[in-house]
Amino acid sequence: MLRQTLRLIGTLLGLQFVLGGVAFFLADYRWIAAVVGLAFLVLVAVTGWSFAGEVDQSRWRTTLMVLLAGLIWQLPGLQGTFRYLSDTAGWTAYDGITDLQDFLMESWHTVALPLLSAIPPGVVGGYYARYYIALVWLSPCLIIVLIAAALLRPLRSAR
């Protein structure tokens, strides 16, 4: 099970970097880059689906392994999400690092930026742009897509 989980993490990171590079080079061609972003979402779901099919474990253990793999895979994006939550909750004061976290999130989610640029302009709560809110919640949403695809796959053997 550990070997399959490590392979899942490697596959997800490979998808992130390869398709992120493709999306970066196709950034001038928005519609083609958006297709790459959609393909990324589909491949994440297919990866979760196939992982659940290749392991012969109980549903909760498979879910736990997919969750662990998703958290490790999305760690750079989740740092920005946690930073945003701590800023909006008032747990931390602005110290200038927030701009660096924004850059880290944008760099990590290069593959999905063409999809996020389709969000209409506007602000949430009078301060944050809709685009930024979508960027903040992209990592948790990708983990949810991965887990949902793994949960939708029926188990190979009834336990």
* 13 confidence band (pLDDT: 50, 70, 90): very high
State which amino acid sits at residue 62: T
Each residue of 15-64: pLDDT tens digit? Answer: 999 999 999 999 888 889 999 999 999 999 999 998 887 776 778 888 89
Decide if pLDDT at 93 tops 80. Answer: no
**What is d(CA 2, CA 25) in angstroms, rounded to the nearest whole number?**
35
- Where are the domains positioned within the chain? 2-152
**What is d(CA 50, CA 47) in angstroms, rounded to the nearest whole number?**
5
Q: What is the pLDDT of residue 47?
A: 94
Q: What is the pLDDT of residue 157?
A: 52
Decide if pLDDT at 96 tops 80. Answer: no
Each residue of 104-144: pLDDT tens digit? Answer: 888 999 999 989 888 888 888 777 788 888 999 999 999 99
Q: What is the pLDDT of residue 146?
A: 94
pTM score, two decimals? 0.87
Q: What is the pLDDT of residue 9?
A: 92
Q: What is the pLDDT of residue 148?
A: 93
Q: What is the pLDDT of residue 27?
A: 87
Q: Nearest-CA neighbor of 140 among 59, 49, 45, 75?
A: 75
Q: What is the DSSP string of the chain?
A: -HHHHHHHHHHHHHHHHHHHHHHHHTTTSHHHHHHHHHHHHHHHHHHHHHHHHH--S-HHHHHHHHHHHHHHHTHHHHHHHHHHHHHHHTSS---SHHHHHHHHHHHHTGGGHHHHTTSPP-EETTTEEHHHHHHHTHHHHHHHHHHHHHHHSPPSS--
- Find out whether 54 and 19 touch, Cβ atoms under 8 Å: no
Q: What is the pLDDT of residue 159?
A: 47
Q: Nearest-CA neighbor of 82 among 97, 69, 67?
A: 97
